[in-house]
Structure 1
Amino acid sequence: MSNFNFPLYFQFKISTFHNDFTIKDSENRTLFYVRQKLYKLKEEIMIFADESRSEQLYGIKADRWLDFNANYTITDARTNETIGKIGRKGMKSLWKANYNAFDSAGIEDYLIKEDNAWVKVGDNLLGEIPILNILTGYIFNPSYSLYDKRENVLLQLHKKPSFFGRKFTLEKLADINPEDETRLILCFMMMILLERERG
């Protein structure tokens, strides 16, 4: 799948025990339905064509147990072929989220970085204050940018003001190789699940 109609909208469901969310395009068409498997020693998510979950398109799975530096392999569920990987960039991600994106051959070709680490700090601090902590989803809204090898910003994901951090928007800022577009959207899917766990 390529030629997406940007911006794309990520919306988490709050009526389920699973970490589920839907991705829709600018015309409100469902592109993907994402479900994270719970209680797994290795992180694993499944990406379906829609909420019926009748057709799995992709899968993402960690390469090791409960490890901060795990890499996540993205596979095409229909062919079982690896189409890429994403992984946290070591200790740098403790302060500010940094993720490397790799192609099917394991070559790093893109980088996702959190734009402002202080937003995360403010969110965590306010989150510790009773009553006021319910406002964090409206006050602190991080964003993440994807860079190519020339440090051009191609995509940017913004958290929108909402309770429970439910809504995100992915905007396209520059042309992307159509062959990479789906893989990079899948990388953002995995990244946002991991970042939501961080708080």
Structure 2
Amino acid sequence: MSLYNYPLHFKFKITTFSNDFEATDALGNTIFYVREKILTWRDQMKVYSDSSKSELLYEIKSNKLIDFQQTFTITNPQGNIIGKVRRKSIHSLWKSTFKLMDTYDNHDHTIQEKNAFVKLWDGIFGEIPIIGMLSGYVFNPSYILSANEGEELFELNKEPSFFGRKFTVHKITEKEVNEERMVLSLALMVLNERSRG
């Protein structure tokens, strides 16, 4: 039995200075609310139960001040590690790739961009004055979260929008997986990749 009712929807707010978004399920219920802290030395995100930010569910913190092989650790309010996500920055110049690690630092899953050419053309199109602002309606990347054995488990798609603010998550496997860790990892990836498309 799934932890969430899929598909999930990530929708960014455009009225705040922070990089905030709300995650809702197929029934429109809020499953969490993410706020990325700005003006900090290290990337840091807080995940709340809803937009009131009264109940903290998770924290996501970067281990480095720079972007090279940056690793993010996901913890609950008690400080217990849920998992880790490592962004492969060099490889990301061509195809965005994030390595997921369990609580023992074992790399067991990967999030990878489905079509590298979308990133290439998005970068080119986005540099064209005025017209480039419309890239969010033309180039919308998709990402696959798969196990190391190669089985595809989740697919995340960016939806056409002017501000790049809507994403949809589909669970594409029937097997039992750690949905909590997988969905939080996808949420982190969205915060890193949102500016594209």
Query: TM-score, structure 1 length as denominator?
Result: 0.94
- Offset at 1:175? 2.7
Match of residue 190, structure 2, among 185, 189, 192? 192
The alpha-carbon deviation at position 195 of structure 1 amounts to 1.3
The 2-side partners of 1:197 and 1:56 are apart by 26
Greater mean deviation of Cα atoms: 85-94 or 44-53? 85-94
Instruction: Give every structure 1 segment of 4 or more consecutive aligned residues whose post-TM-superposition deviation is greater than 4 Å.
Output: none
| Structure 2 residue aligned with 1:91 | 90
Conserved in 1, the CA contact under 8 Å of 2:97 and 2:113? yes
2:179 maps to: 181
Checking the alignment, whether the CA contact within 8 Å between 1:43 and 1:66 is kept in structure 2 is: no
Contact 2:46–2:58, Cα closer than 8 Å, also in 1: yes
Aligned partner letter, 2:29? R
Matches of 1:163 and 1:50 in 2, distance apart?
25
Structure 1 residue 164 displacement after superposition: 1.0
Instruction: Report how far residue 131 of structure 1 moved.
Output: 2.0
- State the match for 2:32 in structure 1: 32
**Equivalent-residue separation in structure 2 for 1:86 and 1:105 (angstroms):** 12
5 Å-filtered alignment, 1:1-199, equals 3-77=3-77, 79-178=78-177, 180-197=178-195
TM-aligned CA deviation for residue 66 of structure 1? 2.3
Q: Which runs of 5+ in 1 are unaligned?
A: none
- CA drift at 1:197: 4.5
CA spacing shift, 1:130–1:90, aligned 2, 3 Å? closer
Cα-Cα RMSD: 1.3
What amino acid is aligned across from residue 120 of structure 2 in structure 1? V
- SS of residue matched to 1:163: coil
Secondary structure (helix, strand or coil) at the match of 1:118 reads helix
> What one-letter code is carried by the residue in structure 2 that aligns with 1:172?
K
The Cα shift of 1:198 comes to 5.8
Structure 1 counterpart of 2:184, which letter? L
Q: What is the identity, as a one-letter code, of the residue corresponding to 1:48?
A: Y
**What SS does the corresponding residue of 2:194 show, helix, strand or coil?**
helix
| Counterpart secondary structure, 2:64 | coil
Structure 2 distance, partners of 1:154, 1:194, is: 20
Q: Which runs of 5+ in 2 are unaligned?
A: none
Query: In the alignment, residue 66 of structure 1 is paired with which amino acid?
Result: I
Secondary structure of 1:20's aligned partner: strand
Instruction: Point out the structure with the larger helix share.
Output: 1
Over residues 50-76 of structure 1, what are the superposed CA-to-partner deviations in whole Å (9 max), with x where a residue is unaligned? 000000000000011122311000001
